[in-house]
Structures are given as C-alpha cells and as structure tokens.
Structure 1
Amino acid sequence: MATDGTTGRRVTIERVWDRTTEVLSGRSGVIASVAFLTLVLPPIVNGALVLLAPQPPAAQLLTFVVGIASAVLSIWGSLAILALATHPSTDRSSAYRQATARLLPTIGVSLEIGIIALLLMAPIVIALAATGFDFAAASDAANANTPQSMPSLAPGVAIFIVLYGLALVILAFWASARLMLVTAVVLNERLGLGAIRRAIALSRGLTWRLVGVLLLFAIVFGVATFAAQAVVGLVFRLILGGEQVATALFLAGIAGAFVSAALMALAYVFTAQLYVATREKPTAE
C-alpha cells in the first residue's frame, strides 16, 4: 500500500483531494490565469480559424500549424500549473521558467508513449489490410456522414477488432493510472525516459483507485463539456437564427473551452498533489 513519505500515513484519494482543494483555494487566481492563456485561448483560436479560414489547401496548412502550436502550448501550460500546484512558494514567473526548461523532455516522453500506443493499435490496421479493407472508401464515407456506404467486414475480423479494441480500452485506463505522474516526475525530478519507470513506481498500490478517478473524470469531463456546448449553442442559435449556425457553434465552442480548461486545471492540481503525497516512499501492493 502506498504511503505518504512525509507523514508515513497511507496515501488516500480523499487526502489528495483535500490537498487539491486547499491549493485551489489559495492559488486559484494564478492557476486560472495560466489556464486561460494555455488551455482556453488555443481552442478558441482554432475555432476562429475554422470559421474564418481561407479556402483549402491554405486553410488545411494553417489549421495544422496552429494545431501543433496549440498542442505545444497546452503541454507548456500543464507544466506551469503543475509547478504552481506542487510548491507553494512558486510564483508565475518561476512556473513559466520551469515549464520552458522541461518542455522538450516532456514532449519527448509523450512521443515515446504515443509511439507505444500506435504500435499497440497496429494489429487492428494489419487485420483490416490483410482482408483488403478499402480505407479510402471508408474515409470518404466517414467524411460524407454516410455510414451505410462503409465497406463491409468479415465477421471474424469484426469480432477480433471489437475484442482487441475492448482490451486496448482496459489497458489504456490501467496504463493511464500507472503513468499519471509522468509529467510531474519530468518536471520535478529532471528525468527523461526514466520518468516512465519512476511514475510506475510512485503509483504502485494506487492503480485501481486511480482507474476509478480516471473513469469518473472522463464521465464528468464529457458530460460537462457537452452540456456547456449544447446549451450555449442552442441559446445562440435561437438568438442569431438558422443562418448563423457556424457562429453559434463557434460561441458554443468557447463555452466548451472554458469548461474543459477548468476541469483540466483541476486535474493538473490533483496530479501535483498526488505526486507530493507519493514521491518519498512508495511501497509494493
């Protein structure tokens, strides 16, 4: 069972949550300012590009470049929020410096994990390719929103994809729980790929409780974001009329960006406090 190294007490999700609320009550202003810059503005800019962008292919290139920049900015913002939530003495300038210093190692570790995830997904692509699945036709059908024209699959392949996909989902939640502290380790312990092993060690004894936290967060995140976008979108469609659907969707996206940013900032603060609680003396399950 994992223990809090500074007190010897068992690490519990309830205790970590209590610490999270304490940090938010004392540092909500500075955390909100970082979240607005790095988690709210990027999706708003992306939404504006979709609404105002020139004709393809220029629009596609511009959207791609902005998308990459937004992803990098979001990683940088997550590091800054983690720094603010980990050490009470850290101010915004110091958090920005720490985030900048550890940005490239964090991206490197994230790419490594992403490559592993892609390799795990490869059997599905191989199975489809081996049966002569028409990927181009499937892409065209998806873009045209006509699922009835999707290429058919052999029953055996379909069963394999469903079962393997289900196993991947379970594995993804388990791995996400064990790797929840990777970014905090990269930031605070100056590790690169070694952060993966260290994060797994820190989360030992907490795996299934963290899986529960992830499931709950995924549900709350999905419901809250969808509700915000749906309600705001409906209101602005009624106000602006049927001819301004794109504008209503853009404004709904802004509401969704604020809600998702608030929840992600909460998740980063929770992660920081989980790291603080487990970093000294993790023990075996």
Structure 2
Amino acid sequence: MISMGTVWDRTAEFLSDNLGTILPIALTAIFVPAAISGSLGELNRGATPGLAAGLGLASLLLAVVTFWGQLAITALALDPSLGKGAVPAATRRLPAGLLVMIVLLLAALLLAIPVGVILALNGVDFSAATPGAMPQVPPAAALWVTLYVLALLPVLLWLAARLAVVLPALVGERLAIGAIPRSWRLTGGVALKIVGVLILYAVVATVASLAATTAFGAVITLVAGRGEDGLSLATVLTGTVGGAVSTAFTVLGTAFTAKLFLALRAAKEAAAAQ
C-alpha cells in the first residue's frame, strides 16, 4: 500500500532538485498561455461573432501548448535524467495525448446528456437563446439539473481518481488509448486516497486563485481603473498574477501524478513478485 505523504515528499524533492529545468518549460508553456488566456477572457465581452470565433481558436491553441508543457514536466518527473530531452519527448507524445484527451472529453459529454434531456423536456428552447447567454430555465428544470449534478459529483471524483495517472502512463509507457485502462488498473484499491488528495488540491488551488484574481484584481482596478473595452492594465496584471498561481498548481499537480504513477507501478510490481 502506497503512502500519499511519501509521494508528496518525492514530488517536493523532484521540484527542488530540478527547478532550473522545470522553470523554462513552466514559463513558456504554462504561464504565458495562462496569462494570455486571462486577458482574452476580457476581450470576449461584447465581441463580434468573428472576433469571438478567433478568440476561441486562440484559447484552444493556448490549451494545447499548456497540455504539451504538462507532458514535458511529466516526462521529466518520470525520468529526471532526461533534462532538456523532456521537451522532444513531450512533442513525440503530443498526438497520442490529444487523442486520449478527445476520447475522455467525449465520454464527459455523454455524462452531460441528461442535463440537455431535462432542459428539453421542460420546454427550454436553445435555438431562441441569445448567443453567449444562457436560456431561461424553469425552476422545476433547475431543481432536477441541480439534483443530477449533485449526484454526479461523487462519481466524477471517483472517475478522476481512477484516471489520475493517464498522462504518466501515456508518457512513461508510450501508450495511447491504452493509458486509460492502465491508469484504471493501477489506481485500483487506492481511489479513495486519491479522491482525498484531489479534494484538498482543489480547495487550496481555488482559494489561492480567488485570492490572486479577486482580491488582487479589485485592488489593481481601484488603483489603475478599468478600460472601456474591458482590457486594461488592471486586467492584464490580474491575468498575469492569476497565471502565475495557475502555473504553480499545474506544475505541482503534474509532478505529483507522475510520482504517484511511479509509486503505484512499483507497488503493483512488488505485489506481483510475491
């Protein structure tokens, strides 16, 4: 049985020992896209359909860059001796990684189908909704959607725990779709421990993000003011600070899952050898 405390210690040791190699990857592939995305969000307000489509495409490309950065950090955490070789390793695994993410996204969309069915049965007309705005939802439909989401939440947490080491399996064992069942097998018996870590991580990351964007953003807006088009020095600085916080937690979470994968694999191999 693995110890989450030991995994955290190994994660902290890895980050401390390899900060010089991690920092360029984190800055270029995670921090810069996160900071830009924060500013793009402000430009979406009142944007024309053409501009909104362009901003959406830009956000998608930035997400791919961030995902590539996570693959590079994963490769480095799995084998610190790679050094700068983690970058080409991430590039080689990017197509397979995108394929896996698309499959998981489609599976997540299937879980959202009941929400659409509930809204449709209650007469919600999606075609009449204003672009970029939520349609009017009757109270009865809102109640059923809320109950469904609340019932789905523990299921999502459990699934997230069982799929926590998909990326390390994809990078470390050069798998594609096979990384999904591989993660499922490795996390068997320790899902509840991983759920606890996920909840703690989500709470701390959310609080830190709100402190960075809401509190800091309010102070900067009072000092510098907000531009008429929604994009100003205040929004750029707020996006930069939010990007820095997001980058720190992304690097931490990525490194942790890689070390968790190594611990789970070693535990399974030791159990099989007995």
For the criterion TM > 0.5, the same-fold answer is yes
Shift in Å, 1:194: 1.3
Supply the distance in 1 between the matched residues of 2:215 and 2:51 (Cα, whole angstroms): 29
SS of 1:135's equivalent in the other structure is: coil
Aligned to 1:192: 176
Supply the distance in 1 between the matched residues of 2:38 and 2:70 (Cα, whole angstroms): 21
Tell me which moved more, 241-250 or 228-237.
241-250
Tell me which moved more, 230-239 or 113-122.
230-239
Shift in Å, 1:104: 0.9
**Deviation string, structure 1 residues 174-219 (Cα, Å, up to 9, x no partner):** 0000000001101111111111111011111210111011111111
Contact between 1:106 and 1:186, CA under 8 Å: does it hold in 2? yes
Supply the distance in 1 between the matched residues of 2:203 and 2:245 (Cα, whole angstroms): 14
- Using a 3 Å threshold, how does the CA distance of structure 1 residues 102 and 142 change in structure 2: closer, same or farther? closer
2:212 is the counterpart of 1:212: no
Q: How does 1:260-279 map to 2 (within 5 A)?
A: 260-279=246-265
- For residue 72 of structure 1, the aligned residue among 29, 49, 64 is 64
- Using a 3 Å threshold, how does the CA distance of structure 1 residues 78 and 234 change in structure 2: closer, same or farther? same
2:241 is the counterpart of 1:255: yes
Mind listing any 5+ residue stretches in structure 2 that lack a counterpart?
none
Supply the distance in 1 between the matched residues of 2:43 and 2:163 (Cα, whole angstroms): 39
Contact between 1:102 and 1:186, CA under 8 Å: does it hold in 2? yes
Aligned to 2:160: 176
Supply the distance in 2 between the matched residues of 1:63 and 1:106 (Cα, whole angstroms): 23
Supply the distance in 1 between the matched residues of 2:235 and 2:60 (Cα, whole angstroms): 22
CA RMSD of aligned residues (A): 2.4
Supply the distance in 2 between the matched residues of 1:113 and 1:280 (Cα, whole angstroms): 26
Q: How does 1:118-133 map to 2 (within 5 A)?
A: 118-133=109-124
The percent of aligned pairs where both chains have the same amino acid is 36
Contact between 1:51 and 1:250, CA under 8 Å: does it hold in 2? no
Tell me which moved more, 237-246 or 202-211.
237-246
- Using a 3 Å threshold, how does the CA distance of structure 1 residues 136 and 249 change in structure 2: closer, same or farther? farther
TM-score with structure 1 length normalisation? 0.85
Moved >4 Å (runs of 4+) = 48-55, 242-245
Aligned to 2:105: 114
2:14 is the counterpart of 1:23: yes
Contact between 1:134 and 1:151, CA under 8 Å: does it hold in 2? no
Aligned to 2:31: 40
Mind listing any 5+ residue stretches in structure 1 that lack a counterpart?
1-9
Q: How does 1:203-242 map to 2 (within 5 A)?
A: 203-241=187-225
2:48 is the counterpart of 1:56: yes
Shift in Å, 1:24: 1.1
TM-score with structure 2 length normalisation? 0.89
Shift in Å, 1:160: 3.1
Contact between 2:26 and 2:69, CA under 8 Å: does it hold in 1? yes
Tell me which moved more, 35-44 or 49-58.
49-58
Shift in Å, 1:142: 7.5
